Amino acid sequence: DTAVSQTPKYLVTQMGNDKSIKCEQNLGHDTMYWYKQDSKKFLKIMFSYNNKELIINETVPNRFSPKSPDKAHLNLHINSLELGDSAVYFCASSQGGLAGRYTQYFGPGTRLTVL
Amino acid sequence: KQEVTQIPAALSVPEGENLVLNCSFTDSAIYNLQWFRQDPGKGLTSLLLIQSSQREQTSGRLNASLDKSSGRSTLYIAASQPGDSATYLCAVRPGTSYGKLTFGQGTILTVHP
C-alpha cells in the first residue's frame, strides 16, 4: 500500500564510507525527487528525475550521485561521507513532470548519521 | 532567489481554537503553493495545493488562501484538535516549473487538550 517507500529508515556510518539510499514509488508517477532536511529542519531539493532523465541538479557535492534505473525507482549514492552529510533525506514523486502542476508525495525519510 | 518565511516559528493553543499560520515568499512569480504537514520522524503529507490562478483551497477544517501579488499565503485551521499537532510547511514552486519546491522553515503547532 505504501506509495513512496525508502530504505533504510535509519543509517549510521563512519566518515569516509560510501552508502546508498533507495526509493521506490508505486503511484505510476513520472517524476521523482531527492530532498535534504538539515538539523534546522530546512528542506532543500537536491535532484529530480523525469522519465529517468535528470532535470534538476542543485548545487550538491559530486559525492552525491542519483541513479534512476526506471520511472519507479530513484536511488541516491553518497561517496566519502562527511559529518555534514548527516541529515534526513526524503524521496518524493509527482505526476506531470515538467508541468509541475500536481502534488508531490513524500516518503518517510532516511535519517543518516555520520560519525 | 526565492525565499519562503513562515510565521510564527512555533504556536501553542488550547483545543478548539481557530488559528492562522502565515507564509510569505519574496518572488511572486510562482506556479503554485503547497501546504504540508510533517509529524515527528515521519515524511510530509500534502494538505492543500493552490495554483497561482486560485485564491483559496479548502479541505475539511483547513482553508488555505493565496495572495500572489503580495507574496502571502495563510493556512486557517478551524476548531483545532490535539491530533493537529505537527509541523506545518509551506512550499512554493517557481513559474518556470520543473517541480523545484522552495520550502519555508515550518511552524511547529501544539494543540493541548
Q: Give mean pLDDT, residues B102-110.
A: 95
Chain B positions in Cβ-Cβ contact with residue A94 (cut-off 8 Å) = 99
The phi and psi torsions of B100 (rounded to 5 degrees) equal: -85, 90
Is A74 part of the contact surface with chain B (CB cutoff 8 Å)? no
Residues B63 and B100: their CA atoms lie apart, in Å, by 24
pLDDT at residue A103, as a whole number: 83
Q: What is the pLDDT of residues B19-76, one digit of tens each?
A: 999 999 999 989 899 999 999 878 899 999 999 999 999 999 999 999 999 999 999 9
Q: Give mean pLDDT, residues B83-99.
A: 85
pLDDT at residue A50, as a whole number: 85
Is the peptide bond preceding residue A61 cis, with omega within 30 degrees of 0? Answer: no
Higher-pLDDT residue of A41, B96: A41
pLDDT at residue B97, as a whole number: 55
Candidates B32, B23, B25; CA nearest to B55 is B32
Low-confidence ranges of chain A (pLDDT < 50): none
Q: pLDDT band at residue B92, thresholds of 50, 70 and 90?
A: very high
Candidates B73, B49, B82, B59; CA nearest to A105 is B49
Is A69 part of the contact surface with chain B (CB cutoff 8 Å)? no
- Strand, coil or helix: B12: strand
Q: pLDDT band at residue B95, thresholds of 50, 70 and 90?
A: confident
pLDDT at residue A95, as a whole number: 86
Q: pLDDT band at residue B12, thresholds of 50, 70 and 90?
A: very high
Cβ–Cβ below 8 Å for B45 and A104: no
| A91: its cell numbers | 524521496
Q: pLDDT band at residue B99, thresholds of 50, 70 and 90?
A: low
* Distance from the Cα of residue A45 to its chain's centroid: 9
pLDDT at B86 over 60: yes
pLDDT at residue A100, as a whole number: 60
Cβ–Cβ below 8 Å for A104 and B98: no
For residue A77, give the DSSP letter: E
Residue B10, strand partner residues:
B108
Residue of B nearest to A41 (CA): B105
Which of A92, A97, A103 has its CB closest to that of B49?
A: A103
pLDDT at B9 over 80: yes
Query: Counting Cβ atoms within 10 Å, is residue B90 exposed (0-12), middle (13-18) or buried (19+)?
Result: buried
- Inter-residue contact B68 to B30 (CB < 8 Å): yes
Nearest-CA distance from A17 to chain B in Å? 25
Query: Counting Cβ atoms within 10 Å, is residue A22 exposed (0-12), middle (13-18) or buried (19+)?
Result: middle
